[in-house]
Every structure is written in structure tokens, then in C-alpha cells.
């Protein structure tokens, strides 16, 4: 007897694809990298990274409640690719410097 696969809920559009403008509005425009943090980056880069972190957290909460299509590895791969694209946009090349 074949087992039926349980249906997977579709991922909401705002979680499926990272749109910086959609998540940046949730970050405090005055947010700055803490002085004692030890990292160095511009305030704008820090805010973009915070927007990405909010997106990742929201995806994780959704995935915990539902099942991520393609599994956890697919989710993590997408998040890594977004992190790399943001870093590449900041540095001009892929992977030169880690994000804030």
C-alpha cells in the first residue's frame, strides 16, 4: 500500500522571495551597529542585514508551523543565496567580506 503524502501549505509570497524594500520598513531607520560589537560596516548595510534577519526569522517561524516545500535544506540554501547577494551588492563581488 502506498502512503499518501501530506499536503504542504504554499509559502506566502513575502516569505518565499526576499524583497529588501518590504522588510527594510520594519527596521528602525535610526538603527546603528552597536559600538562594542567588534564588527565594522555602514549603518545602511547594518539595516539591510537586519531586514534579512527579520525575513529569515519569519520564514523559520512559518516553517516550524507548516512544512517547508523542498525541506529544510532548500530553505537554508535560499537564505544563504540571499545573504551572498546582499554581501555581493555591498562589496561589488561575491563573498569578499562576511555580512555585518
Q: Which of 75, 69, 65, 67 is nearest to 18 (CA)?
A: 75
Whether the predicted pLDDT of 17 surpasses 50: yes
More confident residue, 29 or 49: 49
pLDDT tens-digit readout, 18-43: 999 999 999 887 776 666 666 666 77
State residue 47's pLDDT score.
86
pLDDT band at 12 (very low <50, low <70, confident <90, very high): very high
Read off the C-alpha cell for 43. 549603518
Between helix 71-91 and helix 43-65 the angle, nearest 10°, is 170
- CA separation (Å) from 74 to 27, 42, 48, 52, 78? 26, 30, 23, 17, 6
Read off the C-alpha cell for 34. 552597536
- CA separation (Å) from 2 to 5, 6, 69, 88? 9, 12, 21, 46
Whether the predicted pLDDT of 98 surpasses 60: no
Question: pTM above the 0.95 mark?
Answer: no
Amino acid at each position: 500500500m502506498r502512503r499518501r503524502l501530506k499536503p504542504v501549505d504554499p509559502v506566502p509570497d513575502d516569505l518565499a522571495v526576499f524583497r529588501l524594500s518590504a522588510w527594510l520598513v520594519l527596521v528602525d531607520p535610526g538603527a546603528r551597529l552597536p559600538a562594542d560589537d567588534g564588527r565594522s560596516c555602514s549603518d545602511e548595510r547594518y539595516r539591510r542585514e537586519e531586514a534579512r534577519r527579520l525575513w529569515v526569522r519569519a520564514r523559520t517561524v512559518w516553517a516550524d508551523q507548516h512544512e517547508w516545500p523542498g525541506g529544510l535544506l532548500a530553505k537554508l540554501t535560499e537564505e544563504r543565496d540571499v545573504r551572498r547577494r546582499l554581501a555581493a551588492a555591498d562589496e561589488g563581488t561575491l563573498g569578499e567580506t562576511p555580512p555585518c
